[in-house]
Amino acid sequence: MVDVLAAEPALVRCYLLPSVRGDQLRRLGREAEARAECLSAADLAGNARERALLRARAKSAGGAS
């Protein structure tokens, strides 16, 4: 379902979409993909707190940010 939303032009620059996708991938055990999505979300996030949270999620999904 999230992948369908990713095709929506209005959501292309929304950090929430890769954040949710990263969480789903982490739950599926797809750590490398989850990390990449969290880092992508961090790049799109609008403020420092959100970026820090998303980078921490990326790190917990396996690897340093």
Q: What is the pTM of this model?
A: 0.83
CA dist., res. 6 & res. 65, Å (int): 24
- Is residue 65, in this structure, part of any structural domain at all? no
Contact 36, 21 (CB under 8 A): no
Candidate ranges 5-14, 24-33, 55-64; pick with highest mean pLDDT: 24-33
| pLDDT at residue 4 greater than cutoff 70 | yes
Q: Which two tokens stand for residue 65?
A: 């940010």
pLDDT tens digits, residue range 30-65?
Answer: 999 999 999 999 999 999 999 999 999 999 987 554
More confident residue, 48 or 11: 48
Total count of domains within the chain: 1
Contact 22, 42 (CB under 8 A): no
Q: Give the domain extent around 45.
A: 2-60
